[in-house]
Amino acid sequence: MKTEVEIPASPGVEGAAIRCRDVCRSYGKLKVLSNLNLTVPQGQIYGLLGPSGCGKTTLLKCIVGTLKISRGHITVLGKPPACPGHDVPGKMVGYMPQDLALYNEFTISDTFWFFGRIHGLSNRETQERIKFLIAFLDLPQKSSLVKNLSGGQKRRVSLGAALLQNPQLLILDEPTVGVDPVLRAKIWQHLVEIVRDGQVSVIITTHYIEEARQANTVGLMRNGRLLAEAPPESVMKQHNAMTLESAFLQLCEDFDQVGSKHSSGSEGALTESSQSPESCRDESCPILANGQSPSPVEEVPKYTADWKVRARHVVPKWRHMAALVIKTVVRMKRMPGSLCFQFLLPVIQISLMCLCIGGDPRGIHVAVVNNETSQFAFSRTILSFLDNSSIHQVNLSHAQAFAGIYNGEFWGVIEFGENFTSYISKRIQQPRVSKAIVEGGSIHVWLDLTNRQIGIMLQKKIHDAFEAFVQYKLGSMSYMVALPIKFEEPIYGSKNTDFTTFVTPGAVLSITFYLAVGLTALSFVLERKEGLLDRCWVAGVSSLETMLAHLFSQLLVISVQILLLLIFTLLIFKIPNEGSLALVVSLIVLQGVTGISFGLVISSAIDDEQSANQAALGIFYPNLILSGVIWPVECIPYPLRYLSVALPQTYASEALRCIMYRGWGLSRMMVWRGFAVTLGWNTFFLILATVILKLRT
Ligand SMILES: Nc1ncnc2c1ncn2[C@@H]1O[C@H](COP(=O)(O)OP(=O)(O)OP(=O)(O)O)[C@@H](O)[C@H]1O
């Protein structure tokens, strides 16, 4: 069942392929279209002419629905563009934008296949059309990459993409720029042929005014208004001109004279259509323009579609999504270097993190001042128990050791008095000893504590060495000099747990999240800039479809990234996992999806690469610090703690630590909370990105 039949065509708009009434459009304070009336008759070629900057492209964008008009009414093939159930945007319209709007990594054939899939052409139809278009547009081999084509060839591929599905309405923005005269003539001849049976209508803008003589009707635009709309011969006759160009010049002069005498309302005399003198508003309002006063020319009906049509309009089409996913896969295939880099990056990051963060410092230079000379002195035994891989001992005199630490050569000085052995023996054996014996029987340590991790390590190693010495000397009597505190086997984790173990789960989530942000943050920015988003939208691809297709294709990439991350984390760096691997994988994948969705928000909201990069980078450090990835959340002061727990990675990192180190499952609040927060952010970001993209296309 066709959806179109459910919405009746507007009465009074039959016979017109495009009808614009009182159309206004501004960019901020700049009024580009001013109460413009235009009618493209069904089955005709309409040449839209006008000087650079007069608003032709803006008008075409309003007609295809990629720009919203500030006021007025537009109907295209009987209904307003983007009206639910209408095939404009969609298969009925072929749009060639002024920008090339082609994927550079595609071949000519890929380009046509892509649009063929979107329009639902069968394989045979697509193949036949490719064959015809390559011959007709005099294109090089279909396997040629778009990026290697000349400017003119690219324009012809772009024109071919608009002609591909034999649309009912062709909207061509300067298709003949950069095309040689022979081919220009051929293109016009083709247009004349396709409109011959009255089924196809064409609106075309061109700088070559004379070529528009082949159009059935020309519209002459200046300063956002239509000066004339009539068959080319009538325009020339009316102004006694031999060429369309001189008729146009004369019209402009008349317009300037009338314009200088009268207010803006009087230009209507110059057009065949009437123009209303109302001024434009700057703000954009929906194309349907419900609630606005109708044009004096005719009543434009409100288009109400029942909920079934609306629902069908919203439900994503598999063929669109498949076309978009295949597009991303083909582009990735054409950039193997970039793909390898994307797969290697997480591995490099996690390897660097596990190798460089959280381990014990090694080769720390410490000055040792040992005033005992005997070979059997206890000081020597204690020093032999010091971990030599971490501490590099340098034997010096007291003065040299202090000069060295002040010069930054050593991280500490360890000094033993000359009677250390006898004094420490007395300390152990006698219940009461003098202060001098306590002093002389102590190991004196001076540390440079500017590096906390090194300082803590030195303190621990010296304690360990002394404990080992006591154990060695006293055996079962060692309790006499030990603290009366006994640390039993830990409930969770191991006694030798290091900082790497703490930081790894959060780091894995952060790496997945930020790589996903990086993959997607620029995707729409570049496509929007190159006009590809608009072109796909006019071909009928909705914002939701674009969003979901990006999500699915990027999921392929992050799945490989996550697999490599897990192999390195669990198998190579042997980070323990006591819990369910399925839960670990699910949480990491969901964080990747959150990253993709957040990247899509950036991409939808921001127009240029620099700002998109800044936004992605700008949140990196605050998020990393506030999410408790590198330091416990418990250290964050209270007002900030509320912000911290609301972030996508705080509860998720905690959940991953609970799964991996405590072996907990979804029945534990700390685990399901991490999943719930992640899912909540996913949904929020995806909806936000879809809404922004919808509002901006
Ligand atoms: N995104 C935009 N933001 C602000 N101003 C814009 C934007 N796009 C176009 N304009 C302005 O609107 C006016 C009309 O531009 P438009 O591209 O519609 O002209 P045109 O008639 O198609 O010109 P050309 O023949 O050179 O392509 C110009 O003054 C242009 O600077």
Read off the pLDDT of residues 384-428 as tens digits, 9 standing for 90 and up: 999 999 999 999 999 999 999 999 999 999 999 999 999 999 988
Q: What is the pLDDT of residue 275?
A: 37
The protein residue whose alpha carbon is closest to atom 31 in ligand 1 is 53
* 625-663 per-position pLDDT tens digit: 999 998 999 999 999 999 999 999 999 999 999 999 999
144-154 pLDDT per residue, tens: 999 999 988 99
**How many CB atoms sit inside 10 A of residue 445's CB?**
13
- The model's pLDDT over 242-289, given as tens digits with 9 standing for 90+, comes to 998 898 888 888 877 766 554 444 333 334 343 333 333 333 333 323
Place 522 in a pLDDT band, splitting at 50, 70 and 90.
confident
What is the side-by-side strand order in the sheet with 169-173? 93-96, 169-173, 201-205, 45-49, 217-222, 225-230
Give the residue from 569, 84, 18, 66 showing the smallest Cα distance to 314: 84
53 CB under 6 A from ligand 1?
A: yes
Which of 693, 321, 688 minimizes the C-alpha distance to 543? 693
Contacts 24+ apart (CB under 8 A), 569-577: 569/350, 569/354, 569/504, 569/508, 572/351, 573/350, 573/351, 573/354, 573/500, 573/504, 575/354, 575/500, 575/501, 575/504, 575/660, 576/494, 576/501, 576/660, 576/661, 577/659, 577/660
* Cis preceding linkage at 490, omega within 30: no
The confidence band for 674, taking pLDDT boundaries of 50, 70 and 90, is very high
- Spatial CB neighbours of 62, under 8 Å, sequence gap ≥ 6: 20, 23, 25, 33, 68, 69, 74, 287
Atom of ligand 1 nearest to the CA of 224: 14
Dist. CA 419 → ligand 1 center (Å): 91
| pLDDT band, residue 483 (cuts 50/70/90) | confident
User: Is the distance from CB of 584 to CB of 357 less than 8 angstroms?
Assistant: no
Query: Which atom of ligand 1 is closest in space to residue 207's alpha carbon?
Result: 25
pLDDT at position 179, please?
82
Token pair 């909370």 in the structure block, residue? 673
Q: How far is the CA of 390 from the centre of ligand 1 (A)?
A: 68
> ipTM of the predicted structure?
0.97
Distance CA 137, CA 599 (A): 39
Q: State the distance from the centre of ligand 1 to the C-alpha of 175, rounded, in angstroms.
A: 17
User: pLDDT tens digit string along 3-52?
Assistant: 333 333 443 445 789 999 999 999 988 999 999 999 999 999 999 998 88
| pLDDT on residue 311 | 54
Is the CB of 429 within 6 Å of ligand 1? Answer: no
Kindly give the distance from the C-alpha atom of residue 55 to the centroid of ligand 1, in angstroms, as a whole number.
6
Task: Provide the 3-class DSSP secondary structure of residue 393.
Answer: strand
| Model confidence at 461: pLDDT above 80 | yes
Tokens coding 119: 């329009």
Which pLDDT value is given to residue 307? 55
Name the residue with tokens 């499952």.
665
Based on the number of CB atoms within 10 Å of its own CB, is 340 exposed (0-12), middle (13-18) or buried (19 or more)? exposed
Q: Confidence band (pLDDT; 50, 70, 90) for 177?
A: confident
Q: What is the pLDDT of residue 299?
A: 46
Q: Which residue has the higher pLDDT, 368 or 612?
A: 368
Task: Give the ligand 1 atom nearest the CA of 58.
Answer: 18
The candidate with the shortest Cα–Cα distance to 279, out of 38, 31, 62, is: 31
Q: Please report the pLDDT score of residue 280 as a whole number.
A: 36
* Index of the ligand 1 atom closest to the CA of residue 61: 18
Q: Is 476 exposed, middle or buried (0-12, 13-18, 19+ CB in 10 A)?
A: exposed
> Which domains are delineated in the chain?
4-92+167-291 (3.40.50.300), 364-481 (3.40.1710.10), 501-696 (no CATH)
Across residues 72-101, what is the average pLDDT?
88
